[in-house]
């Protein structure tokens, strides 16, 4: 399925692939916690308003958070791309934006490459910089940027999702 970027409404369903990708990389915790960068988080990576420490969130609350956030991030992605995109690209870009923020995606090299019409290169740009070094794989911990292998693994997953090929060679 090809999604038209100029349609400012989400006609694409939040796919099972996108939901499972978010669940895989975010995990599920029913009690609030601080993530690796010290951000209050609950459920499958929800970092929005109203997180209550000590409260046990229900599976239904977590499902609602995830679906709402994925829809919002999907809209953000669609609002900043200018080319039609495949469902795989949409899912990968939305999963990436769910982790780094819509602004992070929209200002990324990947988005710029995609908007210039080089889809495959934009997929690789989720994972590596122009010099081949890891990007978007660092977290600010105690005021310092620290490389996190788990984030690099996630970027690899997103790039392969974007390409529509779980066996794609990225290196």
Q: pLDDT tens-digit profile of 39-90?
A: 999 999 999 999 999 999 999 999 999 999 999 999 999 999 999 999 999 9
Block residue for tokens 């599920």: 28
Element (H, E) at 158: helix 149-163
Two tokens, residue 145: 């940027």
Give the closest residue to 90 by CA, choosing from 9, 6, 12: 12
> What average pLDDT score do residues 1-22 get?
67
Two tokens, residue 89: 């690209």
Half-sphere exposure of 122 (CA within 13 A, CB side): 26
Chain-centre distance of CA 100, in angstroms? 7
| Contact call for residues 49 and 72 (beta carbons, < 8 A) | no
**Cα dist from 74 to 26, 77, 138, whole Å:** 17, 5, 23
Is 0.85 surpassed by the pTM of this model? yes
- Write down the domain spans for the chain: 2-163
- Average pLDDT in the chain: 91
Second CATH level (architecture) for the domain 2-163: Orthogonal Bundle (1.10)
Strands in the chain per DSSP E = 2-3, 29-34, 40-43, 85-86, 138-141, 144-147
| CA 105 – CA 49 distance, rounded (Å) | 21
Q: What is the pLDDT of residues 95-154, one digit of tens each?
A: 999 999 999 999 999 999 999 999 899 999 999 999 999 999 999 998 999 999 999 999
């Amino acid at each position: 399925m090809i999604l038209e970027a100029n349609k400012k409404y989400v006609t694409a369903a939040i796919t099972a692939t996108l939901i499972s990708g978010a669940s895989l990389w975010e995990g599920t915790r029913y009690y609030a916690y601080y993530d690796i960068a010290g951000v209050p988080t609950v459920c499958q990576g929800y970092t929005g308003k109203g997180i209550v420490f000590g409260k046990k969130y229900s599976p239904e609350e977590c499902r609602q958070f995830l679906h709402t956030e994925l829809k919002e991030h999907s809209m953000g992605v669609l609002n900043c791309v200018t080319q039609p995109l495949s469902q795989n690209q949409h899912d990968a870009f939305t999963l990436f934006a769910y982790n780094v923020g819509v602004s992070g995606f929209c200002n990324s090299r990947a988005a710029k490459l995609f908007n210039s019409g080089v889809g495959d290169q934009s997929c690789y740009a989720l994972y590596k910089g122009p010099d081949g070094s890891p990007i978007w794989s660092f977290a600010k911990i105690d005021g310092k940027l620290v490389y996190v292998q788990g984030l690099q693994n996630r970027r690899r997953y997103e790039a392969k999702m974007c390409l529509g090929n779980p066996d794609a060679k990225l290196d």
